Structure 1
Amino acid sequence: MIGSPIVIGKRKADEAEKPFWISFSDLMSALMVLFLVVMTVALLTVTQHLRDVQKAAGQRQQEINEILERLKDSARDFPQVHISTERMTIDFGEVGRFASGSDALTPEALDLLRGFIPRVLAEARSALGQKWFKRVIVEGFTDTDGSYLFNLDLSLRRAQRVVCTLLTPGAEGRASLTDDEMAHVRRLFSVGGFSFNSSKESKEESRRIELRLDFRALHESNQPGAGPTMGRDLATIEVGRCQLR
């Protein structure tokens, strides 16, 4: 008993340290669990958002396809009209072609445009049309004869000729758009010139006009003031006279 070493306070010191290290380990484990929970929630949120976007994009495409299919049904009354659902374009076959170096439309082409375009305008005023229709771009094309700048001007004049035709009353006994339809043309139609880009197999097929249908992107506003017109109604602008001769 007298020779045995006496240790004072060691067991108590060890016992005092153990709870501290256990608490620190528990804290790290809790932080790790919290991190995993936060990451899981974040991943689920991102995944759900992507699913919502994909679902909305699919719904948009489905509704646009429905618009195009209805236009194709309308085109059955006009055998010369061809609608591409892939390219989202409308062309008028041989009737919509021009003579070399000319921007003049034939009487048959004038009647076809004034007869079919109201179908396009009616579709643009439908519920789905108001939701997705953005604009109709009239594109003119030329063959490869002549210089680049000559054909650039000619293709633009061909596209302008179409708009002039739609905004000019037809001769007596010929088809014409109503005042309301002409107002909608001013709101919806724009013009583009493409020189001899997108040439066809023959020069005759290249000398043509096409209508390209442009639809709104997801979440793109369809309210007045959201576009470059700054809320101004283009239908209120005076039509004036066609400057083409």
Structure 2
Amino acid sequence: MIGSRARTRRGSQGEAEKPFWISFADLMTALMVLFLVVMAVALLAVTRTVSAREALEAQHKKDVDNCMAQAVTAAERHKGVKVDLDRRVIDFGDRARFAFGSSVLAPEQEAVLRRFVPELLSMAQTPSCKRVLKRVVVEGYTDRAGTYLGNLNLSLMRSQRVLCAMFTTSGADALTEAQKDAVRDVFLVGGFAFNSSKDTAEESRRVEMRLEFLGVEEKPIASPATSGNFGACAI
């Protein structure tokens, strides 16, 4: 009787252990499957993120290229104006060239700038340019004669003179108030002395407009909601 009961208890314990080990194996299998599912989902998310980034970069490049192509088209309508695609620069050549030591443009040179800038402003409002164009930097250059700081100041004055030509209230092809608002919002003045001199001193005394573009995920800064009150440039 005692031995019989003891054997019965051992048998019951063995039977009770079997379901436990089966359940543990199932649990490990389930965990492995769950791990694989999580890894698959994570890999898919990363792949989608990379694909979305690549698509964003491709669209950005396409917009920049389209914007530069429009600049080339605009330049082709104005004799002597050229576009350097590598530097993303519009060079006015002798159509806006300064005399030695001077920051004054002739009336016909200012008129050339006023005829070209509205095309640049219209270009900036096209869908591709509007998505990526950050600003237009007006850069004045000098030749190598003179001191560095003197030339730096002169190049800045030449850049400012280009903006003065945009805001004049007289002369040929004067800009409208709306166009002047757009110039103030989009254009920036920069002076560069003789950092990028040309082959001759005369060619170096020039004005360029450099197109700057937003980064792939960079957001444009909203322009202040103001108009008019442009002031006047000193002669």
CA shift, 1:71, in A, is: 2.5
CA 32–144 in structure 1, closer or farther in 2 if over 3 Å, else same = farther
1:233 match: 225
Cα deviation digits, residues 71-103 of structure 1 (max 9, x gap): 322222212111123322111112232223221
2:206 match: 208
The residue matched to 2:233 in structure 1 has which SS? Answer: coil
CA shift, 1:187, in A, is: 1.9
The residue matched to 1:137 in structure 2 has which SS? Answer: strand
1:68 match: 68
CA 32–203 in structure 1, closer or farther in 2 if over 3 Å, else same = farther
Asked if the contact 1:65/1:85 (under 8 Å) is kept, the reply is: no
2-structure distance, mates of 1:26, 1:199? 77
CA 199–35 in structure 1, closer or farther in 2 if over 3 Å, else same = farther
Unaligned runs of 5+ in 2: 1-5
2-structure distance, mates of 1:144, 1:9? 106
CA shift, 1:19, in A, is: 2.5
Asked if the contact 1:187/1:233 (under 8 Å) is kept, the reply is: no
Give the partner amino acid of 1:40: A
Give the partner amino acid of 1:241: A
The residue matched to 1:142 in structure 2 has which SS? Answer: coil
1:126 match: 126
For normalisation by structure 2, the TM-score amounts to: 0.85
Give the partner amino acid of 2:153: D
Cα deviation digits, residues 177-234 of structure 1 (max 9, x gap): 2232222212211111122222333333322221111233345445xxx44x5xx224
CA shift, 1:143, in A, is: 2.5
CA 94–26 in structure 1, closer or farther in 2 if over 3 Å, else same = same
CA shift, 1:69, in A, is: 1.6
The match for 1:178 among 176, 179, 183 is 176
1:150 match: 150
| Aligned-residue CA RMSD (Å) | 2.3
Asked if the contact 1:91/1:211 (under 8 Å) is kept, the reply is: yes
CA shift, 1:237, in A, is: 4.4
Give the partner amino acid of 2:54: Q
1:91 match: 91
1:217 match: 215
2-structure distance, mates of 1:13, 1:202? 102
CA 150–19 in structure 1, closer or farther in 2 if over 3 Å, else same = same
CA 238–17 in structure 1, closer or farther in 2 if over 3 Å, else same = same
Percent of pairs identical after alignment? Answer: 43
Unaligned runs of 5+ in 1: 1-5
The residue matched to 2:188 in structure 1 has which SS? Answer: strand
2:3 match: none
The residue matched to 1:128 in structure 2 has which SS? Answer: helix
CA shift, 1:105, in A, is: 1.7
User: Number of residues paired by the alignment?
Assistant: 230
